[in-house]
Amino acid sequence: MSFPEATEQDVTDPVTGDPDETLDLQDSFQEERGPLLAASCMSMSTDHSMGPPFSFKQEAPTDSQARRMRRCPETDAAWHISRLEDEVGLEVRYIDTFKGRGVFAVSAFEEGEFIVEYRGDLINFEEAQRRRRIYHDALKGFMIDFIWQGKCWTIDAALDDGSFGRLFNDDHLNPNCIIKRIIVGRQPHLCIFAMRDIIPGEELTYTYGDADCPWREKVSKGQIGVNSLPQSSGEMPASGQLCGPTSWRGSTDVHQDGVLCNDSDVCSIVGNSEEDSAANSSDESTSEGSAWAHGISKGKKKEKRIYSETSNALEASKSEEAHQSSSHILIKGISKTSRGSRVYDKKQYCFFCCRPLSKIARHLEQVHSNEPDVAKALTFPKGSKERKILLEHLRNKGNFAYNAEILEKGQGDLVPCKKPRKDSNSGDFIHCLHCLGLFAKKFLWRHMKQCKLRTNELSTPGADKMFSPGACMGPTAQGVSAGLHEILRNMNDDELLLTIKADPYIIKLGEYFYNKLGADSGKHAYVRLKMREVGRLLIQAKKATPLRRMEDFVDPSNFLHVVTAVKMVCGYDDDKCTFKRPTLAVKLGHSLQKMAFLVSFQAMMDRDSEKADKARDFNEMYTTRWCELLSANTLRTFREDKWNAPLVIPFTEDVKMMHLFLDNKQKSTFNDLSSNATSKNWTCLAKVTLSQVVLFNRRREGEVSKMPLTSFVCRNTFDLHEDVAFTELEKKLCRHFTWIEIKGKKGRKVPVLLTPEMQKSMELLKEKRGVCGVPSENIYMFARPSALSHLRGSDCLRDFAVECGAKNPKALLSTKHRKYVATLSNVLNLNNTEIDRLADVLGHSIRVQREDYRLPEGTLQLAKISKVLMALETGRLGEFSGKNLEDISIDASELEAEVSIEHSLDRDENSSADRHSPD
């Protein structure tokens, strides 16, 4: 897929007309359109996270004015490119699990008009190949190759930056848009233009070229109505519109024989190429990708298999049948003769000819030596380790493809790497992510330790485990957004996952949450949790009520069944009228409301007014009766639980003991890391420091755990504000502590104070990250070495609370600590402003946000609140009973002693050094 040089649109300077002069975009547009228009366009938001579910709208009206002023579509394109902005009048809608999302017109577009840039990274051929090797198949669909200045380039839009261009779907029969390459600022860009007049409500599509896209088969056979537009004669767009022959799998033609696209080449989105799969098998880095790429490119049979699976996703009932029949899938145990001796009758499946064979290596050598992967293996001497590994990988790939077919059929025997003693259930087995072998779940950890195809590449947390047949081949493999697919892939392969994947509305709910929250990877667990909650409800409902699919839940005639199912899943006790899990009942209520919205949304799209009405009626019933039937009891249970729960706050002695313990531990771990930089020592110091910061600040542990390294690096080093009157002690406190800001609840900025000791530890941690194996991609201050995640403050505190010998270790957890401060602060005579400040530091809700006075406010908090925190640390808060912050005095010498230790912060060092020098 590529672009002919002839069709390239160079955007020349409109004033000089010189094609070599690229536009000075910012200025020329300001002039051309006037500052007002520029400003109005600048303010167009593409923030998807804020939009309503499944519909990220940009308001249309301002658009017409803007568009009328545009004369040349290419100039318009350049204008948008310069501002990294999308056109208004577009909306992203979720279409179905097969097609995923699509872009729809909210306002009309005229023929030839610029619509949107296909935004992404511009990368060269080598980088594109590298990314293809590591990308999941779903992500490869966002890469477009094209030719420019005789070289192959790629726009990689795999990263979801919220732009619309990346979400345009393919239509090879009747596209209404076309994608063209234009040059702006001496760089090529891909832009999408209207091919004809487009009316509001139409899905915007362009052809991915003459690619062999799997979904096209379905369209032409009329199996799945992926596009409501009438089918045309199938003519390709006129020449010059950058469409022509290429293959879905790819850029193989483009780069295999060294011919970099001729004029008939087209723009198309590529997936994996054969060359990729060869490369994959040679560097053994992405076994999954290579297996599928090969599977698809090798023949129609496998292609059909994969996409018939996708169509299953559209019909929950069919998937459910498949699920039920998964119990007919077995892993046969080892066979024995009547005398009990073992029979070696295991068959392996050839990856190339799909035949079952007992001697697979010999077969590959004799029959398929021309296959590049086999030929590569045969270049190594017989008996060599390399040859063995490559052939083993091919063997696993063949078995994997066969297993995939069995799982899809729902019947048969899977081929494992090692046969179990007895016949076993397929659910107890799982594929290794690296070598594709099928292993007993119980023993996979052992295999992972020694898997020869395991790469040393950094893996995301949890991704290094395995993948189940279900996870890689489930009905969600296509159509679901890449992000949600990843979230599903990281879920445990069990009945719950099968239920989730088989129900289109749970998937839609997942998409809904993913669209809202997915940009923050920290929220992916929440998306998973929401799907799991609803999945459990469905499983329970299937057992006890006639409800079979989530869609049935939002039918008003089933309302009481829904209530029954919710009660069951939340552990309702009929006699006591209480819930075991009261909050779950409330959460499920909210999810069902969203579900009703999703059903009605889909029904409206399908023009199914009956279904839409039902969903609306459900919502009405929910509003009127849910509380009476469920929420009232849940809230009562909840209140009673809280009422009865004793208020556990830490003993002052325990708090002191913990602080002392951590201080000592900090010293020893600091010395250990300074003298011996290992990941173990790094982690020890990180754990201690994290605990100290959480405890000292009484912050939510999650907020501190997620502290980005940049917050520390760019910490506040403001000077004392001249205009604010501080006591001497307060001034010293300001110099003593450092103030940094992190993201708190609801995205609020929350402050964290660091003592000099904490700073010292954090400086050392920062310095030793690299040598101790913390990847540079890990953004967290308290990182886990060899991973991209962070340590968890709650785990650290729990361990240290026990280790320090506290009487009541449970009370030393961060929430209890925060309550402790809140409770003990009542002994002080704090005025309203002071209470606000304390609340702000603790991350409780604050009544007044003084954003405009950030600096003095920060200084004030640092000066005043640090007194309270220090008093707490030393267990002396009681001494200040009845005093307000102004009256609290802390022995300056205690502070000075600490200050003098801290050499790295040499602000105002002289005066304190003079007074406290041993001389």
Q: Which has the closest alpha carbon to 309: 579, 501, 176?
A: 501
Nearer to ligand SAM, 166 or 656 (CB): 166
To ligand SAM, the closest distance from the beta carbon of 478 in angstroms equals 5
Is residue 54 a contact point for ligand SAM (CB under 6 A)?
Answer: no
101 contacts ligand SAM (rule: CB under 6 A): yes
Of 164-172, 401-409, 646-654, 669-677, which segment contacts ligand SAM by CB under 6 A? 164-172
Q: In this complex, which beta carbon is closest to ligand SAM, that of residue 268 or of residue 396?
A: 268
CB nearer to ligand SAM: pick between 213 and 694:
213
**Is 269 or 752 the residue whose CB approaches ligand SAM more closely?**
269
Whichever of 145 and 170 has its CB closer to ligand SAM, that residue is: 170
Region of 95-103, 383-391, 469-477, 735-743 interacting with ligand SAM (CB under 6 A): 95-103
Q: Which residues are CB-contacts of 461 (< 8 A; sequence separation ≥ 6)? A: 784, 787, 788, 789
Instruction: For ligand SAM, give the closer residue by CB, 47 or 723.
Output: 47
141 is a contact residue toward ligand SAM (CB under 6 A):
yes
**Does position 209 bind ligand SAM by CB under 6 A?**
no
Q: From residue 255 to residue 274, what is the string marking binding to ligand SAM with x (rule CB under 6 A)?
A: --------------x-----
Rg (CA), the chain: 32
Do residues 152 and 254 make contact, with C-beta atoms less than 8 angstroms apart? yes
- Kindly report the number of other CB atoms within 10 A of residue 491's CB atom: 19
CB of 313 to ligand SAM, least distance (A): 12
**Under the criterion CB under 6 A, does residue 843 sit at the interface with ligand SAM?**
no
Q: Is 98 in the site for ligand SAM (CB under 6 A)?
A: yes
Shortest-Cβ-distance residue relative to ligand SAM: 100
| Cα–Cα distance measured from residue 254 to residue 259, given in angstroms and rounded to the nearest whole number | 6
Structure tokens at 800: 């240290």
Q: In what order do the strands lie in the sheet with 151-156?
A: 121-124, 151-156, 143-148, 268-270
Choice between 98 and 670, CB closer to ligand SAM: 98
Q: Does 166 bind ligand SAM (CB under 6 A)?
A: yes
Our CA angle for 894, 898, 904, nearest 5°, is 155
- Cβ distance 352 to 452 under 8 Å? no
Minimum distance of ligand SAM from residue 492's CB (angstroms) = 25
Three-class DSSP category at 605: helix
Cβ 204 to ligand SAM, closest distance in Å?
11
* Binding region for ligand SAM (CB under 6 A) out of 94-102, 272-280, 493-501, 517-525: 94-102
Contact between 478 and ligand SAM per CB under 6 A: yes
Residue 116 to residues 72, 88, 156, 173, 206, Cα–Cα distance (Å): 14, 9, 16, 21, 12
- Give the residue, chosen from 3, 109, 114, 215, that forms a contact with ligand SAM under the rule CB under 6 A: 215
Shortest spacing between CB 120 and ligand SAM, in angstroms:
10
- One residue of 23, 90, 167, 877 binding ligand SAM per CB under 6 A: 167
Tracing tokens 């001034």 back to the chain, one arrives at 731
C-beta of 92: minimal distance to ligand SAM in Å? 9
**Residue 586 Cβ, how far from ligand SAM at the closest point, in Å?**
32
CB atoms within 10 A of CB 367: 15
Q: What three-state secondary structure class fits 233?
A: coil
Nearer Cβ to ligand SAM, position 166 or 700?
A: 166
Q: Counting contacts by CB under 6 A, is residue 251 touching ligand SAM?
A: no
Which residue, 227 or 600, has its beta carbon nearer to ligand SAM?
227
**Which CB sits closer to ligand SAM, 77 or 269?**
269
Does residue 100 bind ligand SAM (CB under 6 A)? yes
Angle at 445 (CA atoms; ends 439, 451), nearest 5 degrees: 70
Whole-number minimum distance, CB 289 to ligand SAM, in Å?
14
With tokens 């195809």, the residue in question is 453
| Contact pattern for ligand SAM over residues 480 through 509, marking x by CB under 6 A | -x----------------------------
User: Which of 258, 340, 344, 351 has its CA nearest to residue 302?
Assistant: 351
Determine the residue type at 358.
Answer: S
CB nearer ligand SAM, residue 269 or residue 585: 269
Q: Which stretch binds ligand SAM (CB under 6 A): 92-100, 407-415, 871-879, 905-913?
A: 92-100
Query: What SS3 class is residue 572?
Result: strand
Residue closer to ligand SAM, measured from CB, 480 or 888: 480
Structure tokens that stand for 478 in this block: 């296509």
C-beta of residue 438 within 8 angstroms of C-beta of residue 429: yes
For the chain, first and last CA: distance in Å?
Answer: 80
Q: Give the nearer residue to ligand SAM in terms of CB position, either 477 or 693.
A: 477
How near is the Cβ of 93 to ligand SAM at its closest, in Å?
Answer: 10
Query: Please, what is the minimum distance in Å from the beta carbon of residue 141 to ligand SAM?
Result: 3
Nearest distance from residue 142's CB to ligand SAM, in Å?
Answer: 5
Question: Of the two residues 63 and 170, which places its CB atom closer to ligand SAM in the complex?
Answer: 170
170 binds ligand SAM per the rule CB under 6 A: yes
Contacts of residue 241, defined as CB under 8 A and 6 or more positions apart, other chains included, come to 7, 178, 180, 195
**φ, ψ at 152 (rounded to 5°):** -90, 125
Closest by Cα among 457, 480, 478 to 133: 457
Under the binding rule (CB under 6 A), the answer on residue 169 touching ligand SAM is yes
The CA–CA distances, whole Å, from 354 to 189, 357, 419 equal 43, 9, 20
Taking the complex as a whole, the smallest distance from the CB of residue 216 to ligand SAM amounts, in Å, to 7
What is the nearest approach in angstroms of ligand SAM to the Cβ of residue 593?
25
Q: Does residue 99 interact with ligand SAM by CB under 6 A?
A: yes
**Beta carbon nearer to ligand SAM, 157 or 657:** 157
- Which two tokens mark 236? 């390709």
Site stretch for ligand SAM (CB under 6 A), options 163-171, 576-584, 713-721, 744-752: 163-171
Nearer to ligand SAM, 426 or 478 (CB): 478
- Of how many residues is the chain composed? 919
CB atoms within 10 A of CB 485: 24
Give min distance, CB of 82 to ligand SAM, in A.
23
Minimum gap (Å) between residue 823 Cβ and ligand SAM = 50
Q: What is the DSSP letter of 436?
A: -
Q: Which is nearer to ligand SAM, 206 or 402 (CB)?
A: 206
Q: Which range touches ligand SAM (CB under 6 A), out of 96-104, 293-301, 659-667, 722-730?
A: 96-104
Number of neighbours of residue 458 by Cβ within 10 angstroms: 14
Tell which one of 128, 179, 182, 226 touches ligand SAM (CB under 6 A).
226
Choose the stretch contacting ligand SAM; rule: CB under 6 A; options: 100-108, 416-424, 800-808, 868-876.
100-108
- Site size toward ligand SAM (CB under 6 A) is 17
Q: How far is CA 172 from the centre of its chain?
A: 31
In our burial notation (b when 16+ CB lie closer than 10 A, e otherwise), range 304-313 reads ebbbebbbbb
Strands 143-148 and 268-270, bridge-based pairing: antiparallel
* Cβ–Cβ under 8 Å, residues 617 and 555: no
- What CA–CA distance (Å, rounded) separates 68 from 82? 19
Tell me the DSSP string of 148-174: ETTEEEEEE--S--S-SGGGPEE-SSS
Cα(704)–Cα(700) distance, rounded to whole angstroms?
Answer: 7
Virtual CA dihedral for 415, 416, 420, 422, nearest 10 degrees?
-30
Return residues touching ligand SAM (CB under 6 A): 98-102, 141-142, 166-167, 169-171, 215, 226, 269, 478, 481
